[in-house]
Amino acid sequence: MATTACFIIVSRNDIPIYEAEVGSATKREDAAQLHQFILHAALDIVQDLAWTTSAMFLKAIDRFNDLVVSVYVTAGHTRLMLLHDSRNDDGIKSFFQEVHELYIKAESP
């Protein structure tokens, strides 16, 4: 089974900071653009949920076909977003926590 993942870091002002397409699925330009579109469309949902919950990890906030959008919102309202076809919520949460730690280290001198 081919796995698909698109990871993006979005600033509090909705500016993409980092983006990566990973996975073993066939790499196509139109697929990459579709993944970007799905993640950016989910930003409105994240904005609404961020003010109604204190949880940092927001799992499965949106779905498109067999792809799921999961989000981790930092205290500074930076959004770590992952578009994936996995069902491993614990693994995804661990991934977000590790990326968040690395992000803090990169931002702090």
| Structure confidence at residue 25 as a pLDDT band (50, 70, 90) | low
Whether the per-residue pLDDT at 2 is higher than 60: the answer is no
The CATH number linked to 96 is 3.30.450.70
Q: Is the pLDDT of residue 70 over 80?
A: yes
Mean pLDDT of 16-39: 77
**Amino acid identity, residue 3?**
T
How far is it, in rounded angstroms, from Cα 104 to Cα 87?
Answer: 27
Number of domains in the chain: 1
Task: Please count the other Cβ atoms lying within 10 Å of the Cβ belonging to residue 102.
Answer: 10
Structural domain including 60 reads 4-107
Summarize the confidence of residues 3-8 as an average pLDDT. 82
- What are the strands, taking DSSP E only, across the chain? 4-10, 16-23, 57-64, 67-73, 79-84
Position 80 pLDDT exceeds 80 = yes
Which among 11, 67, 66, 69 has a CA at the least distance from the CA of 58?
A: 69
